[in-house]
Amino acid sequence: MFAPVVLIAWVFTSIVVQLGGVRSLNDAFLIYAGVTLLGTTLPAAVWMWSEPDPTEPEELPA
């Protein structure tokens, strides 16, 4: 699931590097880092959001 996200980010960063100069490397890194962060945290956030809420709080042992 993560591999397609990384490949798409790689394509975008390649385009940015080819269109710009030295500054474009910073932009490419930001794009790649942002997509990597999103790709690693979004599945966990969606999974946690779909979990049902507990009906009653759990009682801790005394």
pLDDT in tens, 15-62: 777 777 667 777 777 877 888 788 788 878 777 777 777 677 777 776
pLDDT of residue 28: 74
pTM: 0.47
pLDDT of residue 5: 73
Q: Is the pLDDT of residue 1 over 70?
A: no
Q: Which two tokens stand for residue 50?
A: 């779909």
pLDDT of residue 38: 82
pLDDT of residue 22: 61
Cα 26 to chain center, whole Å?
Answer: 18
CB 43 within 8 A of CB 1: yes
CB 10 within 8 A of CB 32: yes
